[in-house]
Amino acid sequence: MNKLVKHILALLFCGCLLQPASAEELKLTSLDGNTVLTVNIDEQISWSVEKYNRTILPKVIVDMTVNGNPLAKSPSLKAKKEVDRSESFEVTVPLKNHKVSNEYKELQLGFKGGFGLHFRVYNEGVAYRFFTSLRGDVEVNNEVMDMVFPDGTNSYFPKEVSTYSHYERNYLHLDIDSIPVGDFCSLPVLFNQDNEQLRVLFSEANVYDYPNMFLESAGNKHLVSMFPKAVKETIPQPGARADRNVIITKEHDYIAKTNGKRTYPWRLFVITNDDKTLLEQDMVMQLSDPLKIDDTSWIKPGKVAWDWWNDNNIYGVDFESGLNTETYKYFIDFASSYGIEYVILDEGWTKSTTEILDFNPDMDVKELIRYGEEKGVGVILWCLWKPLDENMQEILDTYAQWGAKGIKVDFMQRADQYMVNSYEQIAKACAERKLLVDYHGSYKPNGLRRAYPNVISYEGVKGNENNKWSEDITPLHNTILPFIRMAVGPMDYTPGAMINMQKENFNISFSRPMSMGTRCHQMAMYVVFESGLQMMCDNPSNYYKEEECTRFISKIPSVWDRTIALEASVGEYVAVARQNGENWYLGGMSNWEERTIHLDFAFLPKGTFELELFTDGVNANRFAQDYKVKTITVQKGDKLTLKLAKGGGFAGILHPVE
């Protein structure tokens, strides 16, 4: 052997010695064979994912720092196991499908040092989470997720200016490499590759006793995880909103103090080249804890006559409208007339915003609850989170004793560990008293509602209420929401505006608000948008005046046996079919573009169906409230072409013909 060969072999041998003994590459492939997740264990733990024979995420580095020690530094693998699952479960309040299929492959990795990782691959995407098996309580200082994206990736980026937020954001269409270092967003967030032909939706699930994750730009196509620190001390914000806003004055140096033997939240990625998948997938539900309530028979989803958006601006009555008993009896009468399940008493019903155990002298809440029961209408009570948190047991006991059906709790505005725990505490305490919960001023759904289905809806969305003070709620915005925010769970957008305008006619009015887009655009929301508690935001006087539309909306349920996406393109258009019992319901919406939608009734079972259909009127481009209603018969396999106006939409109900 000559000296050159010996020298090369020596170098190769030294190189091998420099590699950590634990270096390993592990692969996990989806059941359909299209998605391949590769885990690399070297000086650190990273993973990548391929789908459609291309690299989607080239490198994601993950780690956790617990009690000041990075767990995944020079990791040593001691156990691995691959598991296949093919199961299904039923959803108590089904907002997409009554039965959810849960089929995946899972790679379970255990490392020296008392920690490990679970990786799951679904046909629709991938997910991972940490677990630890450490004694006693631990302090989690940080959880690292460092993602690098391929060239040309852009995003729908819900930029935040603080983690103290209502999480009601516009989705900014930004190139990843153009996001300034330090800018960050809340979740969910959508990434786009291959000229927007491929989507990656990122969010989280099963978040308990742990803060929400945010994503921060680190520059050079990198986004990294960030978390709010655990809150140590707050003081009321000086001024008019001291009842609901706080200033965080001290934070701990950790993000969570928690039991050392536990699993942590799932980090999930829906990956698809078909926008319909974003509407049909249910990964947050699949990755969340099962039911924790024994009796769910009392949980009743439905629609709500809502007061706050329309500022109690009823007319044609012989009493002065406002925050008084007569006005709310009018709301209850309206709800009863149309079979609407609930009325909300929003801000103003209490003696003050902090004295929420008593009502204002012009409103007899006990009488309203009694009157509602007589009329078959339940009453839901709004309250601020801050006073509720300070006196939860007495307040909830009182509301339950009065006969209220639920609470709309507002102004949480945080996503730290204490607040996440508060969400579960409220859900559990309300379930014990058979009270529904609608979270406003809230972060997005994280899976809590599978365990506590009395959590009937979440806000955390820039919805119709913003019409009262801004021009942000456009048909473009509305055709983005189903693919991002709604893709992770219900959103209390509060649809139903009866005063509808095209862009050039829209005006901001706090007391007499209106919406952008057509009447049918608003009506379609009752089918397209998911919420177990679907608001009717306009005032009863307007609904009475628009009897034909109101009667139609009142027939649309808020829960579904099955959902099928018919047409879908993020920020352009959306059309869905949803089944409830023997009936099917159609809804479709467009952005500001006029367009033609082609409906294929291949989803129908055999037989003849009568279709009651609301479409944009011939003059809807000028007068947005113009609509046309017709009834036709259709069968499986029939096709129908619909023309949508600017900001347009359509809605339909299909009844089987005997």
pLDDT in tens, 139-198: 999 999 999 999 999 999 999 999 999 999 999 999 999 999 999 999 999 999 999 999
pLDDT of residue 213: 98
Query: pLDDT tens across 242-274, in order?
Result: 999 999 999 999 999 999 999 999 999 999 999
Query: pLDDT tens across 480-531, in order?
Result: 999 999 999 999 999 999 999 999 999 999 999 999 999 999 999 999 999 9
- Tokens encoding 626: 């113009």
Residue 288 in this model has a pLDDT that exceeds 90: yes
For residues 176 and 220, is the Cβ–Cβ distance under 8 A? no
How far is 304 from 26, CA to CA, in rounded Å?
51
pLDDT of residue 226: 98
The full length of the chain comes to 658
How far is 558 from 606, CA to CA, in rounded Å?
25
pTM, two decimals, is 0.95
Residue 2 in this model has a pLDDT that exceeds 80: no
CATH numeric code, 504-528+560-658: 2.60.40.1180
- Largest Cα–Cα distance in the chain? 109
Angle among Cα 264, 62, 253 to the nearest 5 degrees reads 65
Q: Beta strand 189-193 with 198-205: parallel, antiparallel or unpaired?
A: antiparallel
Cross-strand bridge partners of residue 597: 642
Per cent of the chain over pLDDT 70 is 97
- Tokens encoding 30: 């989806």
Cα distances (Å, whole numbers) of residue 167 to 11, 348, 578: 55, 24, 28
CATH numeric code, 22-286: 2.70.98.10
pLDDT of residue 18: 39
For residues 499 and 457, is the Cβ–Cβ distance under 8 A? no
Query: pLDDT tens across 608-646, in order?
Result: 999 999 999 999 999 999 999 999 999 999 999 999 999
Query: pLDDT tens across 539-570, in order?
Result: 999 999 999 999 999 999 999 999 999 999 99
Q: Indicate which residues carry an active-site annotation.
A: 410, 465
pLDDT of residue 23: 84
Q: Beta strand 639-644 with 595-600: parallel, antiparallel or unpaired?
A: antiparallel
pLDDT of residue 546: 98
For the chain, residues classed under CATH 2.70.98.10 are: 22-286
- Write the DSSP string, 272-301: ES-HHHHHH--HHHHTS-----S--TT---
Per cent of the chain over pLDDT 90 is 96
Question: In this structure, is the dihedral angle defined by the CA atoms of residues 539, 545, 551 and 553, taken in order, positive or negative?
Answer: negative
Q: Which amino acid is at 233?
A: E
pLDDT of residue 526: 98
- Tokens encoding 235: 């003081």
How far is 44 from 70, CA to CA, in rounded Å?
10
The angle, 0 to 180 degrees and rounded to 10, between the axes of the packed helices 519-528 and 547-554 is 10
448 Rama sector, left if φ>0, alpha if ψ -120 to 50, beta otherwise: alpha
Task: Map residue 600 onto helix, strand or coil.
Answer: strand
Work out the mean pLDDT of the chain and round it to a whole number. Answer: 96
Query: At which residue do the structure tokens 């009842």 appear?
Result: 243
Average pLDDT on 347-358 reads: 95
pLDDT of residue 7: 43
For the chain, residues classed under CATH 2.60.40.1180 are: 504-528+560-658
Cα distances (Å, whole numbers) of residue 350 to 347, 382, 434, 542: 7, 9, 21, 26
pLDDT of residue 658: 78
How far is 522 from 515, CA to CA, in rounded Å?
8
Average pLDDT on 563-589 reads: 98
Task: Map residue 590 onto helix, strand or coil.
Answer: strand
pLDDT of residue 533: 98
Q: Beta strand 533-536 with 302-305: parallel, antiparallel or unpaired?
A: parallel
Cross-strand bridge partners of residue 70: 65
pLDDT of residue 637: 92
- Write the DSSP string, 366-417: HHHHHHHHHHT-EEEEEEEHHHHHHSHHHHHHHHHHHT--EEEEE-----SH
Confidence of residue 11 (pLDDT cuts 50, 70, 90): very low
pLDDT of residue 510: 97
How far is 507 from 9, CA to CA, in rounded Å?
78
